[in-house]
Amino acid sequence: MVVAVRSMVSMPGRSWSGPLPALTDAQRAIAAELRRDVATLSAAPRSVPQTLAPAADYIERELIAAGYTPSRQHTPEGDNIEVELPGASKEIVIVGAHYDSFGDAPGADDNASGVAGCLAMARRLAKSHSHRTLRFVFFAAEEPPNFKTASMGSYVYAKRCHERGETIAAMLSIESIGYYDARPKSQLYPAALAPLYPSSGDFIGFAGNSGSRKLVRECVRTFREQAKFPSEGAAVPELVEGIGWSDQWSFWHFGWPALMVTDTAPFRNPHYHTAGDRPETLDYERTARVVEGLTALISALASKR
């Protein structure tokens, strides 16, 4: 069993190990943006349609300030917000994050950190020109009771992509990327994966289903080439606990390759889905390194011919 699973989690390149390099000025700038955006987004719960508007409006204002013209897809559970950088190809790369939170939780890591990361990437790629079309999409209604239902914001969005006959080459769900713990035994895993990964929660993870294996390997390889930060990857069956716990699930439903970029959320963060998921619990310097690496990765995916 371990041998079979090992073949699913074997990834190209080598994860960064040892001390992290000194933070660059560019990374400090990203960290400051992340801190500001997370604090603003997690100032109040965002769990039902009537409480989503302030966060949606903030995201839209930040995208306009970056030079985009956002559009909204209205759903009964809240608005999906989309910006697009058209490419020459019919192929589309989607980078998405859900902006709702669970219950009364502030949702700093889940998922203000993912939204803030997407905003930082969108700002840095706003004037880029790529072969593939690149979209940044901010989804409503990822959390229960909409989770893994047809009312999930990302499902509504993916369904529209399908109905339009669009070609989604890759979808990256940026899900809870702000919490890190370098202490031994700070990281948990589903039972089948535990023997194969480090016990310290100081890495960023790339997680996809078996059908997205090629995309997962490509993303891990490129991230490791670009970022001096620990990383792990897995492309495993959807029955493995946690592998489909975000918006990538909606895109799998329509047959497209998709993955989740994550700090692994409940497998690491003790504040997950609680009142303790607050901005001061996040590590913005580590997250800035991740976001910088993801920006380079997304640029490479969008430029692929």
Q: Following DSSP, what letter does each residue of 224-242 receive, concatenated?
A: HHH--S-EEEEEE-TTSTT
Average pLDDT over the chain, rounded to an integer = 96
Q: Could you report the per-residue pLDDT of 151-169, keeping only the tens digit for each? A: 999 999 999 999 999 999 9
Burial class (CB in 10 A: 0-12, 13-18, 19+), 76: exposed
Contact yes or no for 144/103 (Cβ under 8 A)? no
Using an 8 Å Cβ cutoff, are 234 and 289 in contact?
no
The predicted pLDDT at position 157 comes to 98
- Along the chain (305 residues), what's the average pLDDT of each consecutive run of 10 residues? 67 95 98 98 92 97 98 97 97 98 97 98 96 98 97 98 98 98 96 92 98 98 98 96 97 98 98 98 98 98 96
Q: Tokens for 109, please give them.
A: 């890591």
Q: What pLDDT score was predicted for residue 3?
A: 53
Number of residues assigned to the chain: 305
Separation CA 304–CA 52 (nearest Å) = 35
Dmax (CA) for the chain in angstroms is 51
Kindly report, residue by residue over 165-213, the tens digit of the pLDDT. Answer: 999 999 999 999 999 999 999 999 998 899 999 999 999 999 999 999 9
Asked if residue 262 lies in contact with residue 175, where contact means CB atoms within 8 angstroms, the answer is: yes
CB 259 within 8 Å of CB 216? yes
The whole-number pLDDT of residue 297 equals 98
Each residue's pLDDT tens digit, 128-139: 999 999 999 999
User: What pLDDT was estimated at residue 5?
Assistant: 64
